[in-house]
Structure 1
Amino acid sequence: MAAKILANLIVMGSSILGRAVIQAYKKALDNANKSGVAQEAVQNIRRASKAMTEAEARQILGITEQTPWEDVLKRYDNLFERNAKNGSFYLQSKVHRAKECLEAVYQLPQDESPQS
């Protein structure tokens, strides 16, 4: 008998708690929409997903516009390995994205590729 009462209390309590959590979540969404926080969060997400600029990529790798591609690769390898060993994954991914960005800059268009 006591087990049945305890089970009923647990079921009722969890359903009440579940409804309260859902109502609190809805209220938080309403408040975020009213105060503009939701729109600001969406803008921040869009801003963060923009592609890296060439200038930012050069700054991350510490190179100039006159740096040859071989030196870019050496710098990339050095920074990537250094961050792989004792750096952060975030910095390592920034270095990788910088190299990807510059690959497009250093690549010759298909029409200008050397003929054999």
Structure 2
Amino acid sequence: MAGKLIANLIVMGSGIIGRAMLQAYRKALENANKTGVAHEAVNNIRRASKTMTEQEARQILGVTEQSTWEEIAQRYDKLFERNATSGSFYLQSKVHRAKECLENVYQKNKQDGTPT
């Protein structure tokens, strides 16, 4: 009899705790949606996964900050062609994205009048 009573208390207690946790989770989601935190977090994750930093682009192409645009273009051509013939599409696309990233940096520096 005591075992049955303890089992009932455990089942009821876990049900109550489960409902309370579910209600707290729903309330947290509701609050996050009201303040825009959830939307901002999703946008930050999307933005971070799509952009490549200048440092990462330089590492992929194997160039330094002192490299000229011509050196970057030559390195890009070499790596892109190598991956086109005997490499992987993934690496080829990373090389292409790295060139695009550095191209944006160099164009921005050119507009600002900063030496490259």
Given the two structures, how large is their TM-score scaled by the length of structure 2? 0.54
Q: Does 1:17 align with 2:10?
A: no
Q: Does 1:102 align with 2:81?
A: no
Taking the aligned partners of 2:97 and 2:34, their CA distance within structure 1 comes to 43
Structure 1 counterpart of 2:35, which letter?
S
- Structure 1, unmatched stretches of 5+, are 74-96, 107-116
Q: Does the 8 Å CA contact 2:52/2:98 hold for their aligned counterparts?
A: no
Q: Does 1:3 align with 2:11?
A: no
Q: Does the 8 Å CA contact 1:58/1:98 hold for their aligned counterparts?
A: no
SS of corresponding position for 1:49: helix
Structure 2 counterpart of 1:102, which letter?
V
- Structure 2, unmatched stretches of 5+, are 80-89, 100-116
Match of 1:37 in 2: 37
Taking the aligned partners of 2:55 and 2:34, their CA distance within structure 1 comes to 38
How much has 1:8 moved relative to structure 2?
0.2
How much has 1:104 moved relative to structure 2?
6.9
Taking the aligned partners of 1:22 and 1:9, their CA distance within structure 2 comes to 20
Taking the aligned partners of 1:104 and 1:15, their CA distance within structure 2 comes to 51
Q: Does the 8 Å CA contact 2:32/2:38 hold for their aligned counterparts?
A: yes
Closer/same/farther in 2, CA of residues 11 and 58 from structure 1, 3 Å limit? same
Match of 1:57 in 2: 57
The structure that is helix-richer by fraction is: 2
What is the count of residue pairs matched by the alignment? 82
Cα RMSD (Å): 3.5
Match of 1:46 in 2: 46
Closer/same/farther in 2, CA of residues 37 and 105 from structure 1, 3 Å limit? closer
Worse overlay, 4-13 or 34-43: 34-43
SS of corresponding position for 2:50: coil
Q: Does the 8 Å CA contact 1:57/1:99 hold for their aligned counterparts?
A: no
Closer/same/farther in 2, CA of residues 22 and 105 from structure 1, 3 Å limit? closer
